């Protein structure tokens, strides 16, 4: 049976971006399948009482430097985003719509890279459309569907399910019942896969 790694993420989270860049390598080495779980990190923070590292100024200052070092060690492009923190509600609903259309992979590539390598302000609807169109996606169609109650409900359900499983930040991974938080725990995820954790 193929092992699964559930990947809870929000495009507005730089650590989610860094983790996402490592998923192809993880699947190549382990054969595991990634199950993408778009969620609204703001909703998770609200439900758990957690908050962004930037709510503590000294931590926020450090996090930027730490993320740069992590990216350098991973060998992936990264730059901070001047519009951070971004309201990602539309983007995350778009992810649910893209997932239903089985175009989540190009959608995530376009959105993550626009925010975390190209410094685009993806809080602006016209920027979202431009970025998605440049990626060859039906930008207007996807954005229209973010108003679909079924799409809204699915994102909300994903977020609530995350919280009920103990998620408090992003990215969060599950291998069976084992939860792992942070792009810096992918080594633990990989180890759990090799040890055949089933939860």
Annotated catalytic residues are 13
From the CB of 67, what's the least distance to its own copies, in Å? 12
Q: What are phi and psi of 64, to 5 degrees?
A: -60, -45
Nearer to its own copies by Cβ, of 57 and 149: the residue is 57
Q: Is 152 in the site for its own copies (CB under 8 A)?
A: no
Q: Is 133 in the site for its own copies (CB under 8 A)?
A: no
Q: Is 54 in the site for its own copies (CB under 8 A)?
A: no
Q: Is 73 in the site for its own copies (CB under 8 A)?
A: yes
Contact 35, 3 (CB under 8 A): no
Nearer to its own copies by Cβ, of 50 and 118: the residue is 50
Per-residue binding string, its own copies, 160-179, x by CB under 8 A, is ---x--xxxx---------x
Tell the burial category of 183 from Cβ atoms under 10 Å away from its Cβ (0-12, 13-18, 19+): buried
Q: Is 69 in the site for its own copies (CB under 8 A)?
A: yes
Q: Is 79 in the site for its own copies (CB under 8 A)?
A: no
- Tokens 């595991």 map to which residue? 32
Nearer to its own copies by Cβ, of 68 and 113: the residue is 68
Contact 142, 96 (CB under 8 A): no
Q: Quick one: which of 142, 159, 79 has its CA closest to 112?
A: 79
Residue 75, CA distances (Å) to 15, 16, 21, 66, 69 in order: 14, 16, 10, 14, 10
- In angstroms, the CA 54 to CA 91 distance is 21
Which residues are at the interface with its own copies (CB under 8 A)? 48-50, 55-59, 61-62, 65-66, 69, 73, 163, 166-169, 179-181, 184-185, 187-188, 191
């Amino acid at each position: 049976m193929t092992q699964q790694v559930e990947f809870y993420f929000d495009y507005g989270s730089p650590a989610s971006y860094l983790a996402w860049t490592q998923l192809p390598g993880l699947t190549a080495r382990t054969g595991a399948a990634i199950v993408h779980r778009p969620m609204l990190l703001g909703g998770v923070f609200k439900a758990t009482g957690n908050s962004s590292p930037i709510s503590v100024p000294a931590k926020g200052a450090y996090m930027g430097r730490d993320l740069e070092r992590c990216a350098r060690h991973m060998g992936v492009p990264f730059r901070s985003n001047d519009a951070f923190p971004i309201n990602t509600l539309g983007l995350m609903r778009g992810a649910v719509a893209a997932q239903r259309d089985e175009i989540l992979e190009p959608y995530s590539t376009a959105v993550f890279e626009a925010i975390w390598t190209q410094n685009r302000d993806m809080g602006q609807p016209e920027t979202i459309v431009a970025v998605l169109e440049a990626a060859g996606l039906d930008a207007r169609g996807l954005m229209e569907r973010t108003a679909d109650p079924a799409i809204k409900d699915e994102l909300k359900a994903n977020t609530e399910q995350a919280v009920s499983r103990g998620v408090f930040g992003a990215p969060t991974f599950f291998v069976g019942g084992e939860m792992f938080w942070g792009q810096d725990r992918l080594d633990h995820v990989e180890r759990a896969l090799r040890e055949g954790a089933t939860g």
